[in-house]
Amino acid sequence: MTSSRRTFLVATAASAGAMVLPSCQTARPARPKKPLDQKLRLMVVGVAGRGGDNLAGVASEDITILCDVDRRHLEAAGKNFPNARLVADYRTILNDPAEVAKLDGVVVSTPDHTHYLPALLAMQHGLDVYCEKPLTQTVAQARSLLTTAIANGCVTQMGTQIHANRNYHRVVEAIQAGVVGTVREVIVFVNGTDWSAEKLPDTAPAPEYLAWDLWLGPTAARDFSAGYHPAAWRRYWAFGGGTTADMACHFVDLAFWALDLDAPTSLQADGPEPDPECAPKGLHCEYAFPPRGQRQAVTLRWHAGNDRPEAALTERGLQGWRNGVLFLGDEGWLISNYDKFEVGPAARKEAWKAPAESIPDSPGHHAEWIRCCKERTQPSCSFAYAVPLTETVLLANVAFRGARGQRLQWNSAAMQLDQAAANALLRLPARDGFSA
């Protein structure tokens, strides 16, 4: 991470109510180093779906506690970890200093609306945290997690697993080596995923195996629906953020990394008339990132769902790409998805030679976090990197819902937009018992 980014991150965290720290270098590890062959004592919150994948990713360690509000999922996971304690409510552990003392870290893989509190409680006790993307449901929550991580010397990682892929490494090297010259615009599009809804799902009594009140967590009480749990909650603002919140962290990540982005200064989002409950079939958002250091100003355009940058793709013969990151430079273009990239036009592709590989292979996204927890170093998607990325992603939904079609000015240091309705969406109230 660059020195300028470290300075920026701490300044913005401090301005949002954090303890004042002169630089990230002043943060000291709250926990001692461990030998690499000594297992971490971990609590895993959320054990099915992505939670099951993350549990498998850390299974080499001492899985001390498994937590899930769905008894079916919890008991199924418990069969694979017979020595783990099974609990439904993470608060019974993370609000008890004696229980926390038995842990080294926490893995959070719940729906978006319940990421924040377990991650926050864990780090307030100095525990290390791996948390799924998007890191939080709101911008204010993301900023709070960064503040807490810095203040307590926690080793953190956001679950953007594609960041560990060799393809992303090679794209970053190529862009930074000038494969397409100076990049002034990047178009990020995900048209192969649809987390939208047109109305709320039918409700029913909560099944006996589900602790529905715990599933709701900080969100206002409402009736259970199979349309929320276990898988479709992303379609509704109360719990997720549609296609944008689900997929942008993976794809915008590549642009953030390759171009060393941090915070936009303005943005404008548009799409269909916003629904108060349901995420849209498509939206687009244009962000302006100012010049910084030797990097020129960058315009980043995000397109989600059925909102597709058709003209930009057709012009370059790229109609077959359903999802991707298209870097537009003064001397050509580069497009990438998770697994491959292509350089154009043909003359640029023929003239270009790949630079020597400089980004080391990752041992794996989970393995990287585990190793860093033991060595007291930070992995590649620590919250210092993940929070500006998460905030940028979440701002698209904020601008769409609160000020569709309007150009908004974003003061990152003050964590403030210049439009009241959108600004109000930077934070959400929490129910009693689930507030920080």
Q: Classify residue 76 as exposed, middle or buried by CB count within 10 Å of its CB (0-12, 13-18, 19+).
A: middle
Q: Classify residue 15 as exposed, middle or buried by CB count within 10 Å of its CB (0-12, 13-18, 19+).
A: middle
Amino acid, single-letter form, for residue 188: V
Domains and CATH numbers, the chain: 3-163+364-382 (3.40.50.720), 165-196+238-359+395-419 (3.30.360.10)
- Assigned token pair, 203: 């409700």
CA atoms within 13 A on the CB side of 216: 15
Give per-residue pLDDT as tens, 183-202. Answer: 999 999 999 999 999 999 99
pLDDT reported for residue 9: 46
Where would I find the H helices in 87-165? Answer: 91-94, 97-100, 116-124, 139-152
> CA separation (Å) from 324 to 27, 153, 183, 283, 334?
36, 35, 16, 16, 10
Closest by Cα among 426, 409, 427, 407 to 418:
409
CA atoms within 13 A on the CB side of 308: 15
DSSP string, 311-373: HHHHHTT-TT-SEEEEEEETTEEEEE-SS-EEEESHHHHHH--PPPP-SPPPS-HHHHHHHHH
pLDDT reported for residue 401: 98
CA atoms within 13 A on the CB side of 279: 29
- Ramachandran region of residue 242, left (φ > 0), alpha (ψ -120 to 50) or beta? left
CA distance 134 to 393: 8
- Assigned token pair, 252: 């915008």
pLDDT reported for residue 436: 87
Beta-carbon contacts of 24 under 8 Å, excluding residues fewer than 6 positions away, are 1, 6, 9, 10, 150, 384
- Ramachandran region of residue 44, left (φ > 0), alpha (ψ -120 to 50) or beta? beta
Where would I find the H helices in 181-337? Answer: 212-216, 242-259, 310-315
CA distance 431 to 277: 18
Measure the N-to-C terminal CA separation of the chain; round to a whole number of Å: 29
Strand order in the sheet with 408-411: 341-344, 332-336, 323-329, 183-190, 298-305, 282-289, 266-270, 408-411, 416-417
Are the beta carbons of 138 and 422 closer than 8 angstroms?
no
Predicted TM-score (pTM) of this structure = 0.94
Closest by Cα among 388, 386, 363 to 165:
363
Q: Per residue of the chain (436 residues), what is the pLDDT tens digit?
A: 443 443 344 444 433 333 333 233 334 456 899 999 999 999 999 999 999 999 999 999 999 999 999 999 999 999 999 999 999 999 999 999 999 999 999 999 999 999 999 999 999 999 999 999 999 999 999 999 999 999 999 999 999 999 999 999 999 999 999 999 999 999 999 999 999 999 999 999 999 999 999 999 999 999 999 999 999 999 999 999 999 999 999 999 999 999 999 999 999 999 999 999 999 999 999 999 999 998 999 999 999 999 999 999 999 999 999 999 999 999 999 999 999 999 999 999 999 999 999 999 999 999 999 999 999 999 999 999 999 999 999 999 999 999 999 999 999 999 999 999 999 999 999 999 999 8
* Helix (H) / strand (E) containing 85: strand 85-87
CA distance 308 to 377: 40
pLDDT reported for residue 30: 66
How many Å is the Cα radius of gyration of the chain? 21
Q: How many other C-beta atoms are found inside a 10 Å radius of the C-beta of residue 351?
A: 11
